[in-house]
Amino acid sequence: MILNDIIADSGVVSVTGDRYIEISDICNDSRKATPGSLFIAVKGHDADGQTYIASAIKAGAVAVAYEDEDILAEQIAKAGGGAGIALVKVENSRHAVAIMAANFYDNPSCKLTLIGITGTNGKTTTVTLLYNLFMSLGYNCGLLSTIANFVGKHRSETENTTADPITINYLMHEMVNEGCEYCFMEVSSIGLEQERVSGLEFKVAIFSNLTHDHLDYHKTFAEYLRCKKLFFDNLGANAVAITNVDDKNGMVMVQNTKARVVTYSCKGMADHTCRIMEESMEGMLLRIDGREAWTKLIGQHNAYNILAIYCAALAVGANPDETLVKISGLGPATGRLENRKGPNDITAVIDYAHTPDALENVLKTLKDIDKGRTLICLFGCGGDRDKTKRPEMAKIAEEYADRIIVTSDNSRTEKTEDIMNDIKAGFSPKGLAKAIFIADRKEAIRTAVMTAPKGAVILLAGKGHETYQIIGSEHRHFDEREVLDEVFSQVNTENK
């Protein structure tokens, strides 16, 4: 591809060298620079890609996009000169890489019906349900989510809720090549702030809710809200903005959008409404816009998720009755209220809940459905992340659970004991009386099962779909399903 085509509308200040040079690849990682590539030196929070320009040139890059003239000069000297290298100065490297990536892959988002969702909780469930819904309606679709990415039925693993712009546009390009018509995407606040979705054309944007999360990154709730709101501020006039008006920030999100606004509510008046008519561990009977529909999902938060996908489907022209029929056949996303039956009539529930609001939603759901059954809550908190939510989660566990086991999650570079002490500070004397602290998560799960009374419900919160624990910088294999199978088998053997 010609450099001139790639850099169009990407905030280029100047170009030194031949802007008509052929580019065979595009990258923002000097280790991936290959002969004939364009290297975009992204200035990040922890590292400055401009300090790797020399490495990219030595690897064969024929063009470099940068911000700082002084750093560039140092790197050119380090590389032994920049003869034949096209040098592209940009105002904002993060914005530039997003626009250039979109141009390089021929703006694939414009060839898809791209539907995105942002919010604190419910993103993964909503996009996964949308993907499964539209696949069941006969469409070929793509999915970009926390759990995995899909191009049609082809799965690939993911590292971040919102990938980098080059990966996003590459995957969408593959979706177009595979004949996909729709793409469903999680859009995180960090991804928005870092311009990972700049240059994408969203047809539908959904807001779920806004609660306590990512304040280790954003520092303040106001900044967290501002970043989420960017999603709707940047929508075009032909797009649809779907917002949850039961959230106090629901209308704030869309107050400056050019898109057509559609509202939804499970409590009051809105364009689309939903009420729970019946609920059990097997599912819920919902009344959506006057129509009854059954879902295998449970919990008020999932009623919102179901209503959100219903609104999105109608926004792109789906038939309401056919949509509700297909919704009835959908199951939960991996690691979201995932039930596993054990011995002694025990039910273990695996859920990704790792924020105060998410933990409260899940515990309240389980408490309301299984009145009279002992509810055991096992949870921890991630290291190197927002510390203020740790005592809040303790208070929520204390309010709803009959027994509490505090353990490790992804401790990262923090000591697990320090994280557990932060959680411990949130308990009252009454809460501490029903809480135990076991740093080893496998041993904590074993203890929860072995000591659970007959018929108990055990919530394993925080890991969900993850099959690893991050200790230090190491990803160690840890799958709660495998642990449960092992412990359940041991209990069954002892009971024989």
What is the mean pLDDT of the segment spanning 411-438?
98
Tell me if 162 sits within 8 A of 188, measured CB to CB. yes
**pLDDT over 90 at 160, yes or no:** no
Distance in angstroms (rounded) separating the CA atoms of residues 407 and 7 = 49
Residues with Cβ within 8 Å of 220's Cβ and at least 6 positions away in sequence, in order, are none
Distance in angstroms (rounded) separating the CA atoms of residues 321 and 327 = 10
Q: Which DSSP letter does residue 110 get?
A: G
Residue-level pLDDT at 491? 86
pTM of the model: 0.86
pLDDT tens for each residue of 107-148: 999 999 999 999 988 899 999 999 999 999 999 999 999 889
Residue-level pLDDT at 216? 56
pLDDT tens for each residue of 266-315: 999 999 999 999 999 889 999 999 999 999 999 999 999 999 999 999 99
pLDDT tens for each residue of 5-18: 999 999 999 999 99
Q: Average per-residue pLDDT in the chain?
A: 94
Residue-level pLDDT at 207? 97
Residue type, 290: G
pLDDT tens for each residue of 320-375: 999 999 999 999 888 989 999 999 999 999 999 999 989 999 999 999 987 889 99
Nearest CA to 72 out of 94, 372, 86 is that of: 86
pLDDT tens for each residue of 440-484: 999 999 999 999 999 999 999 999 999 999 999 999 999 999 999
What does the buried/exposed string (b/e) look like for 163-195 if buried means 16 or more CB atoms within 10 Å of the residue's CB? bbbbbbbbbbbbbbeeebbbbbbbbbbbbbbbb
Distance in angstroms (rounded) separating the CA atoms of residues 62 and 261 = 45
